Chain A
Amino acid sequence: MEQITQVSYALDTFYFLMSGALVMWMAAGFTMLEAGLVRSKNTTEILAKNVGLFAIASIMYMLVGYNVMYGEGISSYIPGISFLIGGDNDVATVLASGGDVYYSSMSDFFFQVVFVATAMSIVSGAVAERMKLISFFVFAIILTGFIYPVQGFWTWGGGFLSELGFSDFAGSGIVHMTGAAAALAGVIVLGARKGKYGANGEVRAITGANMPLAALGTFILWLGWFGFNGGSQLQLSTIENANAVAMIFVNTNMAAAGGVIGAMVISKVLFGKIDLTMILNGALAGLVAITADPLSPAPLSATLIGLVGGMIVVFAILFMDNKMKIDDPVGAISVHGIVGIWGLIAVTFNNGDATITAQLIGIAAIFSWVFISSLIVWSIIKAVMGVRVTEEEEYEGLDQSECGMEAYPEFTNK
């Protein structure tokens, strides 16, 4: 029995760590997707931004974020605060727990830290091509250290949303909508890219520089999502859990496939052409939609949830662009925010434990907290140090003004 406990503990910890490593790789996915969808003059900057934000998220979550999210709360609304992560389970405790302690607590930290980095990556695409790099990093410190962990505490940390029965398996709301709400606040404070909207409000296309990178980034995210959703089962080492993990992998893949088809159909009907960037957003929309519950639906059901997500995302992007004049170069707010909300509502279709009331309260609570606190933080940053590069720097490209180096220097220098 003791040996079985040892092996299953090792297996579950290993599974957790490998899932976390897959999610870590999603940082590469976001980086490539964003590098593909911005203009070449802003490539180096978006790469620096993604690498930098991952480092900031890792450090802030270790310093304070993880403890805020999973530490002892002051009440079910207000998390407590403490600093630095502690030691791991000792052997005697694990053996005596009778299977209740089944993975290393360091592996738990590792799995959680890559999620906060994912949320922050979502922000970076939406504010691309015009934000000061340093201002973005300051915001990253606040979001990853405080804003994200506070709402994470409400559900995953055992706070009031979890008591209410709000159901968000791997984080359609807690991770994805959070990133989108912070991004929306950022874009409102920041404004649109110069030239995006004409004098009469007409929308101008600003085409991305590199479609192969955008497609590669999407596939990397698709791969990483198996860790994101699969790992969120938290355990592998029983038949029941192994089956659950397999189901989650299948559903995650089906939803992405559905999302592609949904976006493809809508794009063909609306534009007469199959817009690659829309079907890439469609794949991600399918993945975001299924993240709130990748376990309960049957595979066909998961496909349909993804399909609807892919359809919604095209309309959402057009709505944001044409009606709201929210300039989001990569569609992050639509993919992660609007479709995140769809995913949270869709939980109630297949999961008998979820109620629409709890889901709506969860959506409202998380969105309000993240949006309002982000709006305040972005505004303070704007007042103190500014959030936007000058018009001339924007024209020349952020590669020059923020990094002093170009992504493809051989086009201009021999």
Chain B
Amino acid sequence: MKLIVAIIKPFKLDDVREALHDVDVHGMTVTESKGFGRQKGHTEIYRGAEYAIEFLPKIRLEIAVSDDKVETVVEAIGSAARTGKIGDGKIFVMPVEEAIRIRTEETGDIAL
């Protein structure tokens, strides 16, 4: 099992959700988050004084999948979230030791 964490542009969330639905992913956790990478922030101006927005709003997706689905899911997220412009985000894949469905106590791939 792997945990896929993706940081994407907020306006791409719907596209990504649809793309994941198409590859049979039926669960995910979404968090509104802030951060910066190469895109850095930007400056705004208020009554003549400039100020920096250093952390940009992003969406953080977390999806746990079985090993055989990792490639498809990463591909689905990547193609749906890509605009080609700076700030599209990142995808991280990390190993998961165990997954447990709380309701039934099922474990492993079946719990996903």
Q: Which A residues fall within an 8 A CB radius of B? A: 203-208, 270-273, 275, 277-278, 314, 317-318, 321-322, 331
Q: CB of B51 within 8 A of chain A?
A: yes
18 A-B residue pairs with CB within 8 Å: A204-B51, A205-B44, A205-B47, A205-B51, A270-B48, A271-B45, A271-B48, A272-B45, A273-B45, A275-B45, A275-B48, A277-B46, A277-B47, A314-B48, A317-B47, A321-B47, A321-B48, A321-B49
With CB as the reference atom, state the residue of chain B lying closest to A318.
Answer: B48
Contacts of B97 in A (CB 8 A): none
Shortest Cβ gap from A200 to chain B (Å)? 14
Contacts of A273 in B (CB 8 A): 45
The CA-CA distance from A205 to B47 in the complex, in Å, is: 7
Contacts of A271 in B (CB 8 A): 45, 48
The CA-CA distance from A317 to B45 in the complex, in Å, is: 14
Contact A275 B51 (CB under 8 A): no
The CA-CA distance from A331 to B51 in the complex, in Å, is: 19
With CB as the reference atom, state the residue of chain A lying closest to B48.
Answer: A318
Q: CB of B105 within 8 A of chain A?
A: no
Q: CB of B50 within 8 A of chain A?
A: yes
The CA-CA distance from A321 to B47 in the complex, in Å, is: 9
Per-residue CB contact flags for chain B residues 48-64 toward chain A (1 = under 8 Å, else 0) read 11110000000000000
Contact of B50 among A205, A208, A321, A322 (CB under 8 A): A205
Shortest Cβ gap from A328 to chain B (Å)? 10
Per-residue CB contact flags for chain B residues 19-51 toward chain A (1 = under 8 Å, else 0) read 000000000000000000000000011111111
With CB as the reference atom, state the residue of chain A lying closest to B46.
Answer: A205
Contact B49 A317 (CB under 8 A): no
Closest 5 CB pairs of A and B: A205-B49, A205-B46, A205-B51, A203-B49, A318-B48
Q: Which B residues fall within an 8 A CB radius of A? A: 44-51
New A-B contacts (10) at CB < 8 Å, excluding given A314-B48, A317-B48: A206-B46, A207-B46, A208-B46, A270-B48, A271-B45, A271-B48, A275-B45, A275-B47, A277-B47, A278-B48
The CA-CA distance from A278 to B49 in the complex, in Å, is: 12
The CA-CA distance from A278 to B48 in the complex, in Å, is: 9
Contact A275 B46 (CB under 8 A): yes
The CA-CA distance from A204 to B1 in the complex, in Å, is: 49
Contacts of A277 in B (CB 8 A): 46-47
With CB as the reference atom, state the residue of chain A lying closest to B49.
Answer: A205
Contacts of B45 in A (CB 8 A): 205, 271-273, 275
The CA-CA distance from A321 to B46 in the complex, in Å, is: 12
Contacts of B48 in A (CB 8 A): 203, 270-271, 275, 278, 314, 317-318, 321-322
Shortest Cβ gap from B45 to chain A (Å)? 5
Shortest Cβ gap from A190 to chain B (Å)? 19
With CB as the reference atom, state the residue of chain B lying closest to A317.
Answer: B47
Contacts of B44 in A (CB 8 A): 205
Contact A331 B47 (CB under 8 A): yes
The CA-CA distance from A403 to B78 in the complex, in Å, is: 50
With CB as the reference atom, state the residue of chain B lying closest to A314.
Answer: B48
With CB as the reference atom, state the residue of chain B lying closest to A315.
Answer: B48
The CA-CA distance from A270 to B44 in the complex, in Å, is: 14
Contacts of A207 in B (CB 8 A): 46, 51
The CA-CA distance from A331 to B48 in the complex, in Å, is: 12
Contacts of A275 in B (CB 8 A): 45-48
Contacts of B51 in A (CB 8 A): 204-205, 207
Contact A204 B47 (CB under 8 A): no
Contacts of A314 in B (CB 8 A): 48
The CA-CA distance from A273 to B44 in the complex, in Å, is: 10
Contacts of A272 in B (CB 8 A): 45
Shortest Cβ gap from B89 to chain A (Å)? 27
With CB as the reference atom, state the residue of chain A lying closest to B50.
Answer: A205
Shortest Cβ gap from A189 to chain B (Å)? 23
The CA-CA distance from A314 to B49 in the complex, in Å, is: 12
